[in-house]
């Protein structure tokens, strides 16, 4: 009888409105985050750009979106600690929903850049605020499962984005994304603020949301850098192995042309499954670090097979991309660790900026990848970038403090 009661209570916590809304919010966030990458070619071609202009303009627009993500991560993180987690959840989704609807009406590349920049700012706040809120409202023994559930559901937005573009015009795809966001705002009426945050909100002497304080204390800075370092291998897989999969396919002499969009979709399907498993694994092992390390090592093995396993068919290639995605399914776990590493007065700032800083490292990875290709083959260049990323990730994971079952009701001095 007691076991049944405990199971019922667990389900009530995991299926509570804040968890459901955070999961659906991240679903829409991922849909909109990846949408431009999927519609880049048809949307820019329809604006009258030549093939060479599509390539250069597309890269420029992606850089604008990435810049928006980096700035938005800081903005929403600070607001999350100053004004509350719900303020960020509401503001971020309203920002990127409006921006995406307007993208459906765009007529010039210049306007496109501005709107993707604004969308990037909005998209930066969803995951960090959602993970922070869920981490603070769930019992500590359910935090890993709850946050993994959020990311596992959310990452399926990538799959929906891919198939939406397959069946609808690119402008309609933007309207659908914006419409889903606006609809989601109605669900947020029933979401309540984190009690942990409410407890310090009235304490005027507590400094909240000071982004620069992450860099003024050696211990705090090392914690912050290690959290970022843990996430670096995830975006090596997405930003290099999946995004440039057409180049790797040619280098491996695979006869059928490899489609990057399809590689990314399979990667995110695996990522979604991996995120769900990582929470259960952390719960079973009673350790965040062990769960992350096991999945990271699994990803390393898959990367070696990807690069040096002599893959000959497109189906095997996409299948391995699925496994790579599963391996980096500790994405939500490392953001959760980031939330758990810092006090309530700095938690949203850290948890919101950390994943966006990791996304920002893609610029460094692609630059290194291009630099190495001037002297090495595509396979060797990918291996060199991967070596750097996995060393950073493994060292960061091994040296960061364990946060399993950590009480989150504390402050950063």
93 and 234 belong to one structural domain: no
Asked whether residue 209 is domain-assigned, the answer is no
Residue 350 has pLDDT above 80, yes or no: yes
- What mean pLDDT is predicted for residues 294-312? 96
Asked whether residue 3 is domain-assigned, the answer is no
Range with the lowest mean pLDDT among 133-137, 232-236, 280-284? 133-137
> How is 97-162 classified by DSSP, letter by letter?
HHHHHHHTT--SHHHHHHHHHHHHHHHTSHHHHHHHHHHHHS-GGGHHHHHHHHHHHHTTHHHHHH
Residue 12 has pLDDT above 70, yes or no: no
Asked whether residue 359 is domain-assigned, the answer is yes
150 and 237 belong to one structural domain: no
Inter-residue contact 181 to 119 (CB < 8 Å): no
Best mean pLDDT range from 19-28, 63-72, 137-146, 378-387: 378-387
The pLDDT value given to residue 253 = 93
- Cα–Cα dist 119/64, whole Å: 10
Residue with tokens 């990323």: 389
Give the list of residues 6+ apart from residue 137 with CB closer than 8 angstroms, or none: 16, 18, 192, 194, 195
Residue 228 has pLDDT above 90, yes or no: yes
The pLDDT value given to residue 141 = 79
62 and 185 belong to one structural domain: yes
Residue with tokens 């040096």: 308
Asked whether residue 205 is domain-assigned, the answer is no
The pLDDT value given to residue 118 = 95
The pLDDT value given to residue 223 = 94
285 and 395 belong to one structural domain: yes
310 and 268 belong to one structural domain: yes
363 and 270 belong to one structural domain: yes
Range with the lowest mean pLDDT among 53-67, 88-102, 110-124, 167-181? 53-67
Asked whether residue 5 is domain-assigned, the answer is no
Asked whether residue 311 is domain-assigned, the answer is yes
Residue 59 has pLDDT above 80, yes or no: no
From the list 196, 226, 247, the residue with the least C-alpha distance to 377 is: 247
Range with the lowest mean pLDDT among 36-45, 66-75, 313-322? 36-45
Domain boundary among 120, 155, 190: 190
257 and 175 belong to one structural domain: no
Asked whether residue 137 is domain-assigned, the answer is yes
Q: How far is CA 141 from CA 14, 107, 136, 307, 400, in A?
A: 11, 51, 12, 39, 20
166 and 263 belong to one structural domain: no
The pLDDT value given to residue 401 = 92
The CATH number given to whatever domain includes residue 105 is 1.20.1250.20
156 and 235 belong to one structural domain: no
The pLDDT value given to residue 106 = 93
The pLDDT value given to residue 26 = 83
Domain range for 40: 13-190
Domain count along the chain: 2
Q: What percent of the chain has pLDDT over 70?
A: 92
pLDDT bucket at 362, cuts 50 / 70 / 90: confident
71 and 27 belong to one structural domain: yes
Range with the lowest mean pLDDT among 86-100, 176-190, 295-309? 176-190
pLDDT bucket at 188, cuts 50 / 70 / 90: low
The total number of residues written for the chain in this structure = 413
pLDDT bucket at 15, cuts 50 / 70 / 90: low
345 and 267 belong to one structural domain: yes
Asked whether residue 349 is domain-assigned, the answer is yes
- Cα–Cα dist 258/315, whole Å: 10
278 and 141 belong to one structural domain: no
- What mean pLDDT is predicted for residues 205-232? 88
Residue 195 has pLDDT above 70, yes or no: no
Average pLDDT taken over every residue of the chain: 86
Residue 57 has pLDDT above 60, yes or no: yes
pLDDT: which is higher, 234 or 5: 234
Residue 356 has pLDDT above 60, yes or no: yes
The sign of the CA dihedral 30, 33, 34, 35 is positive
pLDDT in tens, 251-274: 999 999 998 878 988 998 898 888
Domain boundary among 172, 190, 208: 190
- What mean pLDDT is predicted for residues 227-242? 94
Residue 120 has pLDDT above 80, yes or no: yes
């Amino acid at each position: 009888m007691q076991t049944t009661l405990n199971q019922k209570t667990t389900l009530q916590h995991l299926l509570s409105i804040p968890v459901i809304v955070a999961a659906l919010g991240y679903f829409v966030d991922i849909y909109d985050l990846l949408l431009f990458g999927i519609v880049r070619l048809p949307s820019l071609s329809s604006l009258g750009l030549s093939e060479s202009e599509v390539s250069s303009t597309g890269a420029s627009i992606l850089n604008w979106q990435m810049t928006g993500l980096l700035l938005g991560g800081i903005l929403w993180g600070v607001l999350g600690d100053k004004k509350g987690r719900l303020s960020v959840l509401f503001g971020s989704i309203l920002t990127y929903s409006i921006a995406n609807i307007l993208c459906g009406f765009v007529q010039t590349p210049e306007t496109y850049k501005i709107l993707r920049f604004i969308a990037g700012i909005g998209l930066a706040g969803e995951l960090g605020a959602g993970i922070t809120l869920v981490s603070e409202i769930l019992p500590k023994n359910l935090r890993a499962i709850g946050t993994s559930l959020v990311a596992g559901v959310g990452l399926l937005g990538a799959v929906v984005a891919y198939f939406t573009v397959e069946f609808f015009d690119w402008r309609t795809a933007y309207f659908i994304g914006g419409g889903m966001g606006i609809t989601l705002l109605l669900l947020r009426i029933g979401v309540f603020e984190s009690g942990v945050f409410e407890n310090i909100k009235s304490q005027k002497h507590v400094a909240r949301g000071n982004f620069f304080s992450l860099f003024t204390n050696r211990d705090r800075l090392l914690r912050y850098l290690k959290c970022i370092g843990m996430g670096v291998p995830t975006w090596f897989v997405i930003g290099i192995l999946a995004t440039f999969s057409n180049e790797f396919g040619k280098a491996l002499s695979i006869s059928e042309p490899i489609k990057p969009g399809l590689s990314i979709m399979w990667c995110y399907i695996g990522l979604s499954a991996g995120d769900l498993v990582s929470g259960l694994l952390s719960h079973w092992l009673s350790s965040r670090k062990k769960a992350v390390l096991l999945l990271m090592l699994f990803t390393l093995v898959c990367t070696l097979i990807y690069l040096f396993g002599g893959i000959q068919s497109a189906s095997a290639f996409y299948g391995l991309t699925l496994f790579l995605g599963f391996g980096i399914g500790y994405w939500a776990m490392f953001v959760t660790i980031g939330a758990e590493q810092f006090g309530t007065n700095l938690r949203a700032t850290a948890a919101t900026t950390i994943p966006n800083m990791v996304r920002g490292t893609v610029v460094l990875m692609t630059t290194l990848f291009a630099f190495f290709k001037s002297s090495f083959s595509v396979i060797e260049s990918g291996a060199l970038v991967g070596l750097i990323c996995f060393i950073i990730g493994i060292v960061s994971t091994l040296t960061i403090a364990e946060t399993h079952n950590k009480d989150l009701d504390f402050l950063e001095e």
